[in-house]
């Protein structure tokens, strides 16, 4: 009769759960105990029988039948604005959200070196913490994206009292997650606006956590993020990190050199 410890070692070996020390110990036991060697061989044979058992194909109509019977929630645009606004949520915005106004909270006025038709933020809707004005006051830098999942550009405008990051992207119908890290750049988010034109799709989720903003969207993206400079920051724009993920896998990560 084999000791319980030996039975456990042999079973663990069959299951691939034995460490190096265990394997050494088992090897020595198998050399010295014919009974253990027979038991080990029998379990290997049993394991082989399981391994050789065929994997069955499910009935061809099953997947269709399952899909037809499952109801998913209705797709809708959704802004997680409470999280987005965090502690700096103004009372008026809070009231607006409480009243169920999720998107069309306010319009933005912008003045910049570029023509209004380029930025077109007047037609954007969203919310903003601050005075709602943007005055360009410096060189813009740009990041171009040309991926299988997403193409377009991200432009950072320097302003008098803050920066504005404009996204004009197209994910070609794929759902992509865009993560923007402002922390290293020493910037704080002060507002967000989304283009309300027919060509743009509404962002489905938007979350702000510390210096990190995460958006999930499908289709065309045209939105701007307003940023407040931390005192003492000179040229933080290139330190903004942008990551793109699809199905949970990171497909792009910007670096300082990505900005032009």
Partner 1 sequence: MSNNRDQALIDRCRRGDRRALETLLGHYERPVYNAAYRIVGNCEDAADVTQVVFLKAFEHLDRYNSKFKFFSWIYRIAINESINHINRNKNQQPLGEQEIVDNRGPEDFVGAGDLSDMLQSCLLELQEDYRAVVVLRHFSECSYLEISDILHIPEKTVKSRLYSARQLMKDKLKNHFKGSSNF
Name the site residues for partner 1 (rule: CB under 8 A): 7-8, 11-12, 15, 17, 42-43, 45-47, 49-59, 62-63, 65-67, 69-70, 72-76, 78, 175, 177, 204-205, 216, 218, 245-249
Beta bridge partners of 224: 166, 193
Output the smallest distance, CB 180 to partner 1, in A. 18
Helix, strand, or coil (residue 247):
coil
Query: Rounded to whole angstroms, how far apart are CA atoms 123 and 186?
Result: 29
Query: Rounded to whole angstroms, how far apart are CA atoms 132 and 138?
Result: 19
Output the smallest distance, CB 11 to partner 1, in A. 5
User: Would you say 67 or 91 has its CB closer to partner 1?
Assistant: 67
User: Would you say 173 or 231 has its CB closer to partner 1?
Assistant: 173
Sole residue written with tokens 């119908």: 173
User: Would you say 32 or 52 has its CB closer to partner 1?
Assistant: 52
Output the smallest distance, CB 133 to partner 1, in A. 34
Output the smallest distance, CB 203 to partner 1, in A. 11
Tokens representing 249 are 């896998």
User: Would you say 36 or 93 has its CB closer to partner 1?
Assistant: 36
Beta bridge partners of 214: 179, 207
Output the smallest distance, CB 207 to partner 1, in A. 11
- Give the closest residue to 89 by CA, choosing from 104, 107, 105: 105
Residue 193 near residue 129, CB atoms below 8 Å: no
User: Would you say 62 or 104 has its CB closer to partner 1?
Assistant: 62
CA dist 46 → 13, 41, 76, 122, 172 (Å):
13, 9, 52, 72, 51
């Amino acid at each position: 009769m084999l000791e319980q410890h030996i039975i456990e070692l042999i079973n663990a070996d069959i299951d691939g759960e034995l460490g190096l020390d265990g394997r050494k110990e088992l090897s020595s036991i198998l050399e010295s105990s014919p009974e253990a060697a027979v038991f080990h061989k029998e379990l290997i044979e049993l394991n082989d029988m399981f391994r050789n058992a065929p994997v069955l194909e499910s009935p061809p109509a099953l997947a269709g039948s399952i899909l037809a019977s499952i109801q998913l929630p209705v797709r809708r645009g959704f802004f997680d604005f409470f999280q987005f606004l965090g502690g700096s949520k103004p009372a008026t915005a809070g009231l607006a959200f409480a009243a169920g106004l999720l998107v069309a909270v306010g319009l933005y006025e912008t003045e910049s070196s570029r023509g209004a038709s380029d930025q077109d933020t007047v037609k954007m809707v969203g919310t903003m913490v601050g005075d709602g004005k943007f005055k360009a006051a410096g060189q813009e830098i740009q990041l171009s994206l040309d991926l299988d999942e997403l193409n377009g550009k991200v432009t950072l405008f320097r302003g008098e009292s803050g920066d504005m990051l404009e996204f004009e992207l197209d994910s070609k119908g794929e759902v992509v997650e865009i993560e923007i890290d402002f922390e290293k750049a020493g910037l704080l988010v002060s507002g967000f606006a989304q283009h309300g034109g027919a060509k743009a799709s509404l962002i489905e989720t938007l979350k702000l956590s510390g210096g990190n903003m995460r958006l999930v969207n499908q289709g065309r993206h045209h939105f701007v993020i307003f940023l407040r400079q931390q005192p003492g920051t000179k040229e933080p724009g290139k330190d903004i990190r942008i990551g793109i993920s699809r199905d949970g896998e990171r497909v792009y990560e910007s670096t300082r050199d990505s900005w032009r």
